[in-house]
Every structure is written in C-alpha cells, then in structure tokens.
C-alpha cells in the first residue's frame, strides 16, 4: 500500500497526550495500528482531514493506552543467562537451580532440585551454554514425544498417523503443523510450562490434522478431546510470555 503522506501528530486526550504517526493512503477506512514497541499508526483515506484522525485517536484513547501499556510490560527483555550456580531453570513448570561442577567429563543431569552442569572449565561460558542447550533439547524431545504418543492414541480412530516432531524457537506461537506432510512443530520454550499446557498445544495441533482451520468444527473436536483446554491455555499464557 502506497503511503501518500506521513507526519507525526500529537493530541491531548483525557488519558494524556498521545503522539501518533499519521499516514494518508489509498484506502477506504480509517485504520489504527499499534506496534509492539508502542508506536501508534493511524492511516486514513486520501480525502480525510488530519482533524478527523485526531478525533479518532481521542475517541479511542483508553483502548490505545491499554494496548501500549500491555505491549510495554511484555517488552521487558528476558535477562541473558549467565550459566552460574544459583541461576534459575524452569522445566515443566518447576523452578530448578543451576549448579556448576568442575569435572573431567562434561554432561548435564538433574535430581529434580538442581540441574548440574559438569564442565571442564567452569568459566567457559559458551561451553556451559551449549551443554545446557543440548540437554534442554533432549528433554524437549523426550517429554514432547511422550506426550505426542499419548495424545496420538486418541486420534488413531480418526486415521491420523503418528507425525514427525520438530523443535523450534518461535517468538509468536507455541506450535504449528503441516497435516499433509505429517509434521508437528513445537516451540522449545514449551518445556518451561506445566505438562497439561504442553498437552493442550499438542491436542490443538493434532485437531488440525482433521480440521486445518480454526473452524467451529475444530473447536468442537478440541472440546471433546480435551474438555478443559481453556484452563490449560490460560495457564500457559500466564506462565510464559513469548
Ligand atoms: Zn491452530
């Protein structure tokens, strides 16, 4: 869409001053967009005056403020891990502590309270990072596969073959699937969530093997398969901010 004009405007509203980017475009209706960084865009059709856009922002000020506040609270960057003893690692909703152990043999294990990183040189950041990441990938594979096998049982009567599991780091979703290719991709960060949250995502993806879209039929099937899916979804969203 070609932008015909862009300018920054500021209006006084009952929720304080709001600065926004005014754009004139070849469109039919006034459009409001709020980016994750909090910037506000209002685009208007060619023949609409700036003052109309101002009034529009004023009328929507509460909504805009809320949206910007929500985005900002989500924007807090996840602190970089340092891979030092005492640091937190979350697995299946449970917080555990890292313990760095100087050892001739390099591996990671856990007793359910600590995650022990055995490493030759405890000051070697990249080595510790790789050891932990590899171990977490293994945990994802083991735990997600186990859940996928359990859930798959319920889909056998529908003629669904056991799909291939792929792991990825995703920033905007928990999972995705390619029903035609028989692939389910899960976000690695799901490993931090309680088991029922992971199950919810797996059920959701499996239901797509029968209904590819988010149709009424899709949700009816999900409801039958996992009656408390809404609670698990809520818990997941409260638990981890993507
Ligand atoms: Zn879906």
Whether residue 80 lies inside any domain: the answer is no
Q: Which domain-ending residue is among 49, 74, 99?
A: 74
C-alpha 28/C-alpha 18 separation (Å) is 24
Question: Residue 34 pLDDT more than 90?
Answer: no
Identify the three-state secondary structure at position 201.
helix
Sign of CA dihedral 105, 107, 111, 116: positive
CB atoms within 10 A of CB 110: 15
Distance in Å, CA 99 to ligand 1 centroid? 38
Distance in Å, CA 220 to ligand 1 centroid? 13
Query: Looking at residue 199, what is its pLDDT?
Result: 97
77 pLDDT tier (thresholds 50, 70, 90): low
Query: Looking at residue 73, what is its pLDDT?
Result: 58
Q: Are residues 12 and 93 in the same domain?
A: no
pLDDT by residue (tens digit) across 114-168?
Answer: 999 999 999 999 999 999 999 999 999 999 999 999 999 999 999 999 999 999 9
Q: Which two tokens stand for residue 48?
A: 């609409």
C-alpha 96/C-alpha 136 separation (Å) is 13
Cβ atoms of 221 and 204 closer than 8 Å = no
C-alpha 16/C-alpha 140 separation (Å) is 46
Distance in Å, CA 186 to ligand 1 centroid? 12
Select the more confidently predicted residue: 73 or 152: 152
Q: Which domain-ending residue is among 74, 103, 118?
A: 74
Query: How much of the chain exceeds pLDDT 90, in percent?
Result: 76
* Domain that includes residue 154, residue range: 138-239
Distance in Å, CA 219 to ligand 1 centroid? 10
Whether residue 81 lies inside any domain: the answer is no
Q: Are residues 142 and 231 in the same domain?
A: yes
Query: Looking at residue 52, what is its pLDDT?
Result: 94
Q: Are residues 128 and 142 in the same domain?
A: no
Whether residue 82 lies inside any domain: the answer is no
Q: What is the mean pLDDT of the chain?
A: 91
Select the more confidently predicted residue: 128 or 13: 128
Q: Are residues 222 and 160 in the same domain?
A: yes
Whether residue 83 lies inside any domain: the answer is no
Q: Are residues 126 and 213 in the same domain?
A: no
Distance in Å, CA 179 to ligand 1 centroid? 11
Whether residue 67 lies inside any domain: the answer is yes
Q: Are residues 151 and 230 in the same domain?
A: yes
Select the more confidently predicted residue: 52 or 69: 52
Query: Looking at residue 136, what is its pLDDT?
Result: 97
Whether residue 79 lies inside any domain: the answer is no
Distance in Å, CA 211 to ligand 1 centroid? 9
Question: Residue 43 pLDDT more than 90?
Answer: yes
Q: Are residues 151 and 202 in the same domain?
A: yes
Question: Residue 3 pLDDT more than 80?
Answer: no
The mean pLDDT of 198-216, rounded to a whole number, is: 96
Distance in Å, CA 80 to ligand 1 centroid? 30
Distance in Å, CA 189 to ligand 1 centroid? 17
Distance in Å, CA 206 to ligand 1 centroid? 9
In our burial notation (b when 16+ CB lie closer than 10 A, e otherwise), range 170-189 reads beeebbbbbbeeeebbbbbb
Distance in Å, CA 115 to ligand 1 centroid? 33
Structural domain count of the chain: 3
Q: Are residues 147 and 188 in the same domain?
A: yes
Q: Are residues 127 and 150 in the same domain?
A: no
Distance in Å, CA 242 to ligand 1 centroid? 16
The mean pLDDT of 25-42, rounded to a whole number, is: 87
- The alpha carbon of residue 237 and the mean position of all alpha carbons in its chain are separated, in whole angstroms, by 8
Distance in Å, CA 204 to ligand 1 centroid? 6
- The alpha carbon of residue 161 and the mean position of all alpha carbons in its chain are separated, in whole angstroms, by 27
CATH number for the domain that contains residue 142: 3.30.2010.10
Distance in Å, CA 117 to ligand 1 centroid? 36
Distance in Å, CA 174 to ligand 1 centroid? 10
Question: Residue 1 pLDDT more than 90?
Answer: no
Identify the three-state secondary structure at position 20.
strand
Whether residue 24 lies inside any domain: the answer is yes
Whether residue 123 lies inside any domain: the answer is yes
Q: Are residues 115 and 171 in the same domain?
A: no
Cα angle, residue 168 at apex, residues 166 and 169 outer, rounded to 5°:
165
Q: Are residues 69 and 162 in the same domain?
A: no
Cβ atoms of 55 and 42 closer than 8 Å = no
Which residue is listed with tokens 């809404």? 230
What is each CA distance from 114 to 25, 95, 109, 137, in whole angstroms? 57, 9, 8, 18
Q: Are residues 106 and 62 in the same domain?
A: no
């Amino acid at each position: 869409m070609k932008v015909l004009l862009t300018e920054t405007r500021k209006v006084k509203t009952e929720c304080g001053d709001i600065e926004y980017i005014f754009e004139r475009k070849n469109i039919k209706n006034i459009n409001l967009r709020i980016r994750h960084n909090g910037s506000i865009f209002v685009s208007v059709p060619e023949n609409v005056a700036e003052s109309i856009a101002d009034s529009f922002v004023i009328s929507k000020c509460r909504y805009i403020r809320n949206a910007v506040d929500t985005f900002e609270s989500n924007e807090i960057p996840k602190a970089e891990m340092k891979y030092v003893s005492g640091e937190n690692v979350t697995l299946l909703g449970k917080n555990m502590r890292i313990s760095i152990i100087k050892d001739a043999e390099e591996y990671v294990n856990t007793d359910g309270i600590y995650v022990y990183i055995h490493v030759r040189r405890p000051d070697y950041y990249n080595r510790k990072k790789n050891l932990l990441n590899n171990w977490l990938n293994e945990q994802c594979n083991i735990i997600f596969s186990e859940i996928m096998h359990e859930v798959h049982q319920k889909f056998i009567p529908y003629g669904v073959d056991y799909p291939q599991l792929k792991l990825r780091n995703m920033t905007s979703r928990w999972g995705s699937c390619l029903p035609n290719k028989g692939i389910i991709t899960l976000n690695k960060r799901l490993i931090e969530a309680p088991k029922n949250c992971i199950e919810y995502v797996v059920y959701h993806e499996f239901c797509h093997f029968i209904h590819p879209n988010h149709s009424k039929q899709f949700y009816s099937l999900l409801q039958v398969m996992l009656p408390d899916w809404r609670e698990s979804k809520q818990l997941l969203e409260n638990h981890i901010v993507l």
